[in-house]
A and B are shown apart, each in its own frame.
Chain A
Amino acid sequence: MAGCFTPGLFCIFYSLALQFRNDYPLKLMFELEVKNVSKWFGTRKIFENINLDLKSGQSIAVAGPNGSGKTTLLRIIIGLTVPTAGEVVFSQENKKLDFDSYRSSLSLVGPYLSLYGSLTARENLKFISKVSGTLSSDSDIGEMLEKVGLDGRGDDYVLEFSSGMQQRLKYAAALIKNPSILILDEPTSNLDDEGKKRVFNIINQYRPDSIIIIATNEKEEYSLADSVCQLGE
């Protein structure tokens, strides 16, 4: 029986040891290249030969009518959808990175992303900061909630939040990782005027040293980016 145990336990410990690596999510300088990316759903072309080149401190708005592929492009950029052709390359000092290497530096805010309804706002932020490798203290979380205008609501269940409050919390969840790459899909959806103002301030605060990609149909949000990539033309 020992003959079976020894190699078996070695296999388990070896596979665990491979996983024991720490992430150090410092504010890093990145370059994002989207090279000739095309996406087809069956015989229907969504977009073809998209090329983008962004470095830390640069931002772009991806615009276009409904169904033009804005969200699909964002999903391809963050590695959740495979492009039909082309590739997305994240690099740091000309060194190509794989998804595991830049995941902790990437944050997304989008309508298809939800937070845990059965946890409080504070518990959500604590969980996300922990699993993403940043250990935020209670005061950090309090500051983040204040930043998005949810101070005093930290101990409420997310299930009880309005859609606008959930959108604000998504920003807190995205920023708690101190991201170097910020992907925003419909960044001001469900927000009131005060919420929009806060989001504009947050984006402007992150613009100098982050890559920001915004998918939007709102013309006023184009001002948050250095350039506009128009899809569906």
Chain B
Amino acid sequence: MPIQSVSWVSKTLAVTRKDIVSEFRTRYAVNAIVMFALVTLTVISFAIGLLSPSKEILSALFWVILFFAAMSGLAQAFIKEEESGTAMILRLSCAGSIVFFGKMLFNLLLLITLSILIVPLFIVFLKISPADWIIFTGGVLMGLIGLSGATTIIAAIVSKASVKGALFTVLSFPVLLPLLVAAIEITRVSFTGGSFADISAPFQLLVAYDVIMITLSSMLFDFVWRL
């Protein structure tokens, strides 16, 4: 059998591709996330009714929908592997960093897909549109990167516990709080039509959060994953 070397990137993409193919066939996480987001969005739009909430509140509601939708499905990336006994295959086949970045990329793609679906519906149902699309898109993208990085390591921790679902949200909330605060602020500025100067501080916080979270998570992942 010919033995060739496979680069770290190819191995990572193989993990992501495997998760995409598997998800496409089972729709395990996608169904949970999309349904949760749609139901929450509908409930919020009915609850608000004819009221006209401020843009500050709407920007917070946007991230509440994304946060809880992520909580409903992103933990599955690891829980499914542990419960079906396939996690052992990954542990014995590749380094933890490959699993971490492969799963993180899959979670990020899932969140981006969700956002593409949710943003137009949010605009239609809640009758609000970003005044500055560049700030809005940048804020959402950076927020999703941080969200996927943090939830990936937390999902790996939670997959070892017996009470998985509740623990995931409880552990995620304090870890994601700085990200949510910064992301909500950027979204608010994008709704109210502020300038780039107005988002300087929250954007720096968001970038710093993403970098620290992803770097630390990738370094600590082996300790969580191996045992």
- A60–B211 alpha-carbon span in the complex (Å): 48
B18 touches A119 (CB 8 A): yes
Interface of B, secondary structure class, is: helix
- A128–B92 alpha-carbon span in the complex (Å): 10
Give the shortest distance, in Å, between B223 (CB) and chain A (any CB).
12
Residues of A within 8 A of B54 (CB): none
Asked whether any CB of chain A lies closer than 8 Å to the CB of B51, the reply is: no
For the A-B complex, the count of residue pairs with Cβ-Cβ distances under 8 Å equals 132
B4 touches A118 (CB 8 A): no
Asked whether any CB of chain A lies closer than 8 Å to the CB of B137, the reply is: no
Q: How many residues of B contact A (CB 8 A)?
A: 46
Asked if A79 meets B226 with Cβ closer than 8 Å, knowing A20-B8, A114-B85, A131-B11, the reply is yes
Q: 1/0 contact trace for B211-222 toward A, CB 8 Å?
A: 110110011000
Asked whether any CB of chain B lies closer than 8 Å to the CB of A41, the reply is: no
Other-chain contact of B10, A11, A80, A114, A130 (Cβ < 8 Å): A130
Q: 1/0 contact trace for A95-132 toward B, CB 8 Å?
A: 00001100110111010111111110001000110111
- A117–B212 alpha-carbon span in the complex (Å): 36
A8 touches B92 (CB 8 A): no
Q: How many residues of A contact B (CB 8 A)?
A: 54
Asked whether any CB of chain B lies closer than 8 Å to the CB of A188, the reply is: no
B11 touches A116 (CB 8 A): no
- A226–B218 alpha-carbon span in the complex (Å): 42
Asked whether any CB of chain A lies closer than 8 Å to the CB of B31, the reply is: no
B215 touches A12 (CB 8 A): yes
Residues of B within 8 A of A112 (CB): 85, 88
Other-chain contact of B203, A1, A78, A115, A176 (Cβ < 8 Å): A1
B21 touches A100 (CB 8 A): no
B22 touches A118 (CB 8 A): yes
Give the shortest distance, in Å, between A74 (CB) and chain B (any CB).
12
Asked whether any CB of chain A lies closer than 8 Å to the CB of B195, the reply is: no
A117 touches B84 (CB 8 A): yes
- A112–B183 alpha-carbon span in the complex (Å): 42
Segment at the interface with A among B93-101, B153-161, B173-181: B93-101
Asked whether any CB of chain B lies closer than 8 Å to the CB of A59, the reply is: no
What are 9 pairs between A and B in contact, CB < 8 Å? A4-B204, A4-B207, A113-B89, A115-B86, A119-B21, A131-B94, A132-B94, A143-B1, A177-B93
B contact set with A: CB distance below 8 Å:
1-11, 14-15, 18, 21-22, 25-26, 84-86, 88-95, 97-98, 101, 200, 203-204, 207-208, 210-212, 214-215, 218-219, 226-227
Nearest 3 A-B pairs (CB), nearest first?
A: A114-B85, A8-B211, A22-B5
Question: Given known contacts A127-B18, A128-B89, what 5 new A-B pairs fall within 8 Å (CB)?
Answer: A4-B207, A12-B215, A128-B93, A134-B1, A136-B2
